[in-house]
């Protein structure tokens, strides 16, 4: 038994981190293979893997399928965000969920939607505006555009009972997701729909999805005052 035989993955993580801080492994450098580090430290390879996973989760190193592990040239704060279906989000908070379709119609995609999808020109798409309610009060207003070429089923769906949010998450898995967060002041229509003061600060969660380069949907989820989106790792 060597003196290092009881190294925990936290010990290994701290040693590798120490080597990064002291410059033994510089920004962008490739780290030794897990097996080699395990041999050097006299611990199991799985212990090194666990340590590397932790350093990767917190954004200090990058793991590549075949390219091994590198020190990030610029560390980042990395988080995984899981956004549930809005119905579930409301139900998980212990409130009663409600849904109200505001409007559903085909229309030429406006410039912002064309740009979000990265398309060259406008084309007719399905716009669905709907309100999600929590205990009878407005919770999120969603303003959504759906590309009917990618989801021809939507021509037969009226979205009066089931939300487009729920139908799409269940039926249209994406291969690419763009997400953006920003704040807007409530304009008269939003303050009316969301029953809030005009000018109130609202968090907007904008999501755009594609399946193999074909646009699926882009949606602005405009939340009510006080709404917080949380993540934990």
Please state the closest distance from residue 173 (CB atom) to a second copy, in A: 5
Maximal C-alpha separation, the chain: 73
Please state the closest distance from residue 205 (CB atom) to a second copy, in A: 8
Nearest to 194 by CA among 223, 165, 162, 220: 223
CA angle 81, 82, 86 (to 5 degrees): 130
Tokens 């579930």 label which residue? 88
Return the CA Rg of the chain: 24
Q: Which of 58, 100, 191, 196 lies at the binding interface for a second copy (CB under 8 A)?
A: 58
Q: Which stretch binds a second copy (CB under 8 A): 30-38, 99-107, 154-162, 179-187?
A: 179-187
- The yes or no reply on residue 156 touching a second copy (CB under 8 A) is no
Q: Which of 156, 195, 212, 213 lies at the binding interface for a second copy (CB under 8 A)?
A: 212
Q: Specify the residue, 107 or 177, whose C-beta has the smaller distance to a second copy.
A: 177
Structure tokens at 133: 């309610």
DSSP letter at 133?
Answer: E
The contact set with a second copy (CB under 8 A) reads 10, 17, 21, 54-55, 58-60, 74-85, 88, 169-171, 173-185, 199-203, 207, 212, 223, 225-233
């Amino acid at each position: 038994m060597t003196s290092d035989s009881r190294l925990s993955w936290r010990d290994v993580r701290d040693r590798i981190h120490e080597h990064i801080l002291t410059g033994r492994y510089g920004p962008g450098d490739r780290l030794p293979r897990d097996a080699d580090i395990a041999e050097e430290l006299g611990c199991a390879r799985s212990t090194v893997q666990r340590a590397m996973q932790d350093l990767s989760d917190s954004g200090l190193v990058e793991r590549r399928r075949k390219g091994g592990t590198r020190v990030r040239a610029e560390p980042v704060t990395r988080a995984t965000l899981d956004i549930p279906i809005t119905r579930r989000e409301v139900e998980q908070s212990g409130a009663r969920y409600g849904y109200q379709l505001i409007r559903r119609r085909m229309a030429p995609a406006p410039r912002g939607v064309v740009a979000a999808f990265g398309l060259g020109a406008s084309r007719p798409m399905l716009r669905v505006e709907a309100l999600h309610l929590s205990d009878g009060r407005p919770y999120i207003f969603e303003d959504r555009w759906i590309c009917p070429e990618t989801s021809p089923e939507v021509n037969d769906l009226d979205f009066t009972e089931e939300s487009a949010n729920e139908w799409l998450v269940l039926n249209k898995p994406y291969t690419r997701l763009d997400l953006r967060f920003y704040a807007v002041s409530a304009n008269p229509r939003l303050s009316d729909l969301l029953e809030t003061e005009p000018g109130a600060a609202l968090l907007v969660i904008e999501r755009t999805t594609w399946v193999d380069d074909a646009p699926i949907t882009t949606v602005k989820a405009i939340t009510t005052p006080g709404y917080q989106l949380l993540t934990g790792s």
